[in-house]
Structure 1
């Protein structure tokens, strides 16, 4: 694509080790607006080529000094910004997202890359530890021991449907892996192939600009399930990053575990992000919390992994005010275009399922790729008898669970599956209940909030975007923030190694 063009036809090819490559088969994009285009379909043979190139690049890239890797990440950010207008034009066409949202996501993407560049220069992530030799120690001498974090090898990244920039081609997983010293093979998402293509062009320009090995990055577009299967089972791939559905992620997770040499699968799979509205808070400002919750539910058509889909609310008159305010605010929200036809279909199916099992507060049927907000409520006892009500509905859908007393609220918290986030709305008079809930929720979620809403994930050192299964497949990891680099590193101890053999980071 022309970097200065507002919109131009894509070349529709894969990027394999510095070369644009076609394929015999093609698939056609399904944009929200504008023309559709043909793109080469991924194949198992392309996976093989990309993985071999990534392994060859690893032998060089893993030993490039931190300053040069940081410069590479910054060059990717700069090249993305050069293509800003084209990225916005293609992204809005494919996804239906407004230009302002794409522009903000682009800034987040470049910000992540620059954050990792700074993180590399500081070097703290290396966790360098040294135990000096003790040759005179009795009863046995101690050798010199040096420990440092080292890159694990080529990483596979699956582009996310809901974040065409920040969690896709050069998004958080790719940025973290490249920062760690690991080449990346990206399986592009078929919902936004044009956006993926132009970001790959930016990465390739950065490779040329900084002299990095060409196999350090490849993009494979589209393809059937056999392409994803081949990627996660390829013996040269050492870890997988994934953001997507529970069913798709679990299938890939199982493939990684079933390999002759199992590898880590860092999957973000789904979360309802429960919100607990405590008695004093709902009495003081229930209507305000309800209206604000509605705004969070409908942000971006509810297509955020941190969308707070379930609210636990007291079953009293103050809770009624919360319900009324949420309903009224949602009723004023117009239809929104969803990111893909598949996501819209799944949303309509989820709405139908909840409508058959809970009492409707606001019914808003949608059609095609259009989503409208829907709201239901149910009493806590009925909710506890139906585990399907705790499953994620990806879109602007909210379920209010009416709770009889604090003990029941605690029971509901204990029964939760793993979540990305959990939220407490509280006033000073709720402190004792909040303290008890916090002890439960810190075991259930990767991030716990008070008097806020989880939509909006800061890219920062202290951020945790992960949680116990099924929120993610590795509860000790995060996919956002500087700590996410740890997923693609492993500690290595060097014993009595001569200084002239050690890397600069160990010397």
Structure 2
């Protein structure tokens, strides 16, 4: 059955329209009218979230786990609708949407099981020592408690896993925090279906209606109203460096500053060491081309830079990469704006001093084709613009004269989500020199693989030093992400009858 969006906002259990509407711009088919978000809707949603927090924040872990499972169930029940509208809006293939839906429901269920174990509470108890000299010690108990309503900004490139019911929302709900989502304009219909699933789970689970709200679209004033609302206690964001930094600054400028957990961008450099290049440089090139073009390069972990040592192996690698990328056809990008920014970024890259074109293309409107460039490390080190992210299937090969210059490239990097070493056993001494640098630059360091593909599990870190993210001590993927929306509270000499259930 074809899904037709109603185009309304979900505010504390009520589907609400506004006078102003905007027509969506899908990759396929006709657009639909969606009500435009307003600061007033944000205020109503935030107030409802605060009211819901007094109930939801004190629910048992078992109750919240059942709620997370219910959301996953309702999303799965709407799988066909989600795939239909998601493919039409984004241009992503059905297999990608179905896989992302599985990741979304999977992380909801993972968080449910994780909070049932209780380890995330980090409970501690120092028993009273009334006879200690020279001073007695009181009874001290500590545990993590939810912080309150959380704002989440939907991402353009992951309409499910990083949007309405994605990782930020799932983590906040698992922690006991109500959520207000600002839907992304690239996929409002997908957001609507998922919001319907969450609403159905709220009703079935008898949760307070304000535990979740969706405000669709709107101009910058809507996002500003959300991060500056006095009842919002934290913000989760995945998006551009410029947009994220503007919201981060607004959070910091509040009378009561709040944490902004933004994932803003990364070029995810790969360092190809000499023995690995000699043994399998062509195979690495083919793998890089596949990772670079996956999803039209619209992944936050897209490996945009390959650092190699000068020599015949570097030439072989460059040619093998060019050949592999040449076989990649045009792919639809998520929005017209993203496609235009990609073409502009490629043109800016080509105009930089010392940059050599290895593969160029003509991109037709929303269609993207890969670009490949090469530059000497000395030119890369002297031009910070070459280290900026170009969102799309664009690769840059940085050629270092020697190991010392390769290490200098590593030292010069800004914060990254990932960094990769391609190495064989004989490369261990050089890798040993690079690893301490890379672990200071990135949240995840890997060997002999490609960073596209982020496992949702206990050990994953999806974050890194700025500008990869605004809080390098946090992750937006994996069970550790729940800790972003908790704070430690110490209870001193509190009678057991008053203590939270989890602390007794």
User: If the length of structure 2 is used for normalisation, what is the TM-score?
Assistant: 0.99
Q: Is the 8 A contact 2:458 2:479 kept in 1?
A: yes
Between the aligned partners of 2:233 and 2:279, the Cα distance in structure 1 is: 52
Q: CA deviation at 1:467?
A: 0.1
User: Aligned to 2:141, what secondary structure does the other structure show?
Assistant: strand
Deviation at 1:98, TM superposition (A): 0.1
Q: Secondary structure at the match of 2:207?
A: coil
Of the three residues 403, 412, 417, the one matched with 2:414 is 417
Q: Supply the distance in 2 between the matched residues of 1:296 and 1:268 (Cα, whole angstroms).
A: 20
Aligned counterpart for 2:480 among listed residues 459, 471, 483: 483
What residue is the counterpart of 1:361 in the other structure? 358
- Correspondence 1:181 to 2:176: yes
Distance in 1, Cα, partners of 2:77 & 2:461: 31
Q: Which deviations, in whole Å up to 9, do the C-alpha atoms of 1:431-476 show, x marking residues without a partner?
A: 0000110010000000000000000000010000000000000000
Q: Distance in 2 between matches of 1:120 and 1:439?
A: 33
Where does residue 320 of structure 1 map in the other structure? 315
Displacement of 1:158 after TM fit?
A: 0.1
Alignment partners' CA distance in 1, 2:3 and 2:376: 53
- Counterparts of residues 48-197 of structure 1 (less than 5 Å): 48-197=43-192
Instruction: Tell me the residue number matched to 2:502.
Output: 505
Name the structure 1 match of 2:405: 408
Q: Does 1:469 align with 2:430?
A: no
Query: CA offset at residue 342 of structure 1?
Result: 1.1
Where does structure 1 lack aligned partners over 5 or more consecutive residues? none
1:459 corresponds to 2:456: yes
1:494 aligns with 2:488: no
The runs of 4+ residues in structure 1 deviating greater than 4 Å are none
Q: Does 1:296 align with 2:291?
A: yes
Q: How does 1:11-50 map to 2 (within 5 A)?
A: 11-50=6-45
* 2:203 equivalent among 199, 202, 208: 208
- Aligned partners of 2:455 and 2:326: how far apart in 1? 29
Deviation at 1:407, TM superposition (A): 0.5
The CA deviation string for residues 372-397 of structure 1, in whole angstroms up to 9 with x for no partner, is 00100011111111110000000000
- Decide whether the 8 Å contact of 2:53 with 2:178 is kept in 1: yes
Alignment of 1:378-397 (within 5 A): 378-397=375-394
Superposed displacement of residue 502, structure 1: 1.0
Q: Distance in 2 between matches of 1:48 and 1:89?
A: 32
**What SS does the corresponding residue of 1:478 show, helix, strand or coil?**
coil
Measured in 2, the distance between the counterparts of 1:36 and 1:401 equals 42
**Offset at 1:315?**
1.2
Tell me the distance in 2 between the aligned counterparts of 1:59 and 1:8: 36
Contact 2:3 2:84 in 1 (8 A): no
Distance in 2 between the 1:405 and 1:364 partners? 32
**1:217 counterpart = 2:209:** no
Instruction: Give the RMSD, CA atoms, in angstroms.
Output: 0.5
Whether 2:256 is the aligned partner of 1:281: answer no
Distance 1:255 1:408 in 2: 39
For residue 146 of structure 1, give the secondary structure of its aligned residue in structure 2.
strand
Give, in whole Å, the separation in 2 of the partners of 1:164 and 1:340: 12
Structure 1 residue 355: deviation in Å? 1.4
Is the 8 Å Cα contact of residues 156 and 239 (structure 2) preserved in structure 1?
Answer: yes
1:453-504 alpha-carbon deviations (Å, 9 max, x no partner): 0000000100000000000000000000000000000000000001111111
Secondary structure (helix, strand or coil) at the match of 1:24 reads coil
SS of alignment partner, residue 360 of structure 1: strand
SS at match of 2:420: strand
* 1:260 CA displacement: 0.2
The number of residue pairs the alignment matches comes to 502
- 1:8 Cα deviation from its structure 2 partner: 2.2
Deviations 1:5-25 (A, max 9, x none): 3x2211100000000000011
In structure 2, how many angstroms separate the alpha carbons of the residues matched to 1:291 and 1:10? Answer: 41
| Match status 1:10 vs 2:5 | yes
Please list the CA deviations of residues 347-405 of structure 1 after superposition, one character each: whole Å capped at 9, or x if unmatched. Answer: 01111111112110001120210000010001111111111000000000000011111
SS where residue 480 of structure 1 aligns? coil
SS at match of 1:198: helix
Cα-to-partner distance string for 1:400-436 (whole Å, 9 max, x where unaligned):
0111110001010000000000000001111000011
Unaligned runs of 5+ in 2: none
Contact 2:371/2:394 (8 A) holds in 1: yes
**In structure 1, how many angstroms separate the alpha carbons of the residues matched to 2:288 and 2:446?**
14
